[in-house]
Structure formats: C-alpha cells, structure tokens
Amino acid sequence: MAELHCTDTHLTVRLTGVRRAFGRRRPLMIPLAAVTAVRADPAAARAFPGARWGVATNIPGVVNVGSFRRGGKRDFWDVANPDLAIVVELEGARYDRLLLEVDDPVAGVAEILAAVEASRR
C-alpha cells in the first residue's frame, strides 16, 4: 500500500511493508505542477501493467509493484487490491501515470486535488 503526503510543492509516495523490497525503497517525489488529473479507477488497476522496467514485480491477480512500460508510456504501480486504487496522471515527470493502492481512494484523490489546487494559487 502507498502512503501519500502532500507538501506545498510535491506529492510524496512511500511504499509500505514488504512492497518496498519488491518495488521501490526510496519515496517518489512528484512535483505538484506535473499532476494533470487524479481519479479513483479500479478498472485501470485491473489492466495488464505492461513490460517490467527496472525493479518491478508482477504476479497477475495478486500484486503489481514497480515500474512498467506499456504503449510507449511509463507507469509506476503499487496495486494489490484494484478496488482501492487511484490513478495520478502526470506530465513532464519521470512517469506518465502512478497507479496506487491507498486506504481510502476518495480521501486520497481529494487530498491530492486540494494540494494541486493550493499550489496553483
């Protein structure tokens, strides 16, 4: 599961538990200016993630963690339960999308949108 933390300028994504070993140990730091859209999207999280790129784990139907490439796009996944997944669309960042499992998708989307709105004022 991913822990989200928003500051005035960045979204920080930190993997928790054993997923850190299978995906990414250091937190992702994404500039809020790169965020173009955020939504809860279980259907996107059920799709095939694509080819692994770098450190990644793909156990279909169980867990997708790490960096994947699909259709010329780079995605970062941390999803075991697609029903709790959010999608963060990015532009001008290392990744094109983040697919993240969070405790509460509605609250996660609201937190990111509020931080993006505040950073653009």
Contact (CB, 8 A) for 57 and 22:
yes
Domain locations along the chain: 2-119
- For the cut 70, the answer to whether the pLDDT of residue 27 exceeds it is yes
pTM: predicted TM-score of the whole model, two decimal places: 0.92
Q: Which two tokens stand for residue 116?
A: 């993006």
DSSP alpha helix (H) spans, the chain: 19-22, 42-46, 105-119
Question: 12-16, 55-59, 88-92, 109-113 — which is least confidently predicted?
Answer: 55-59
Q: What is the pLDDT of residue 21?
A: 55
Sheet strand arrangement including 10-15: 2-6, 10-15, 28-31
Residues 6+ apart with CB under 8 A from 98: 13, 28, 30, 75, 76, 87, 88, 90
